[in-house]
Amino acid sequence: MRVWLALLACGMALFLITAPPRAADSDGAHNELYRGIYLKIIPADPDVKSDIPLVDSDHALKTIKSAIDLIYERSPFNAKTLDLLKKRGDIVIIYDPGFPEWSRGDVTLAAFLPDFFEAAEGAPGETVFVAILGRYIIKHSPAEIAAEGIVHELVGHGVQHMHGRLQNLNGLNVECEASLYELQAFQDLGVDKFTGHMVRFRRELEEHHCDDFKRFMRKRKPWLMPLWDELDVDVVQLLSIFDEYLAQLPK
């Protein structure tokens, strides 16, 4: 592991300095390098009562590895993008059963944390791409974790962070682009497109997050609108058009 840094979030002071492929922190957290991705499994706090039954750390680690395997074995576009991010910095997946701290209404499954780590002294320009997975998403299938937790957060938002546009785009455009990467993962992994969850995902993608992008296409590239009508969407082509859409937005 490259010499990183102080953990900034959650009020913890954790240092990971040249960690070996497998290691444990003093607090019992498990650190492991897997397929070039740094995994950190934080144990449950015995003094905190959870709102749902928690999976144990070994099960969480195995599930996350299975999700990573699915991406590399069945979603080549997203795997290639993950490898691109690795060339720009370290990729970290953290499982924290205490995340989110509180849930009311919509449940937060995972998050991309661009400022979770700060680069170590002597490593200027180092980027650390961090996704945190919580106690809710870890109970999903490996395919759902791969698409929703890893591809959406690490690949989608990671690319935005790499290009320096994560903070400049409005929330809808941020989610539109990340959700397109997620859609590619769902398609690659053969997730049933007709479940209630997938129908809601597709509708939210097209009618909410990508609404402005689709209006741009309808006005500037109407002959390409049938791309949205396909059962298996050509996500790569849509992402190429999305770059054109971003280029014409006011700076």
> Are 86 and 205 in the same domain?
no
What's the predicted TM-score (pTM) here? Answer: 0.87
Banded pLDDT at 179 (limits 50, 70, 90): very high
> Are 31 and 112 in the same domain?
yes
What is the per-residue pLDDT across 47-94, written as a single tens digit (0 to 9) for each? 888 888 899 999 999 999 999 999 999 999 999 999 999 999 999 999
Q: How many domains does the chain have?
A: 2
Instruction: Give the residue-averaged pLDDT of 136-165.
Output: 95
> Are 237 and 124 in the same domain?
no
> Are 247 and 140 in the same domain?
no
> Are 114 and 227 in the same domain?
no
> Are 96 and 25 in the same domain?
yes
> Are 109 and 1 in the same domain?
yes
Q: What is the mean pLDDT of the chain?
A: 86
Give all strands of the β-sheet with 127-133 in edge-to-edge order: 22-24, 30-34, 37-41, 89-95, 127-133, 110-112
Q: Which of 149, 165, 181 is the last residue of a domain?
A: 165
> Are 81 and 125 in the same domain?
yes
Residue 11 is predicted with a pLDDT of 34
Residue 53 is predicted with a pLDDT of 87
> Are 179 and 214 in the same domain?
yes
> Are 155 and 188 in the same domain?
no
How distant, in Å, are the alpha carbons of 58, 115, 236 from that of 68?
Answer: 16, 23, 21
The domain containing residue 6 runs over which residues?
Answer: 1-165
> Are 80 and 139 in the same domain?
yes
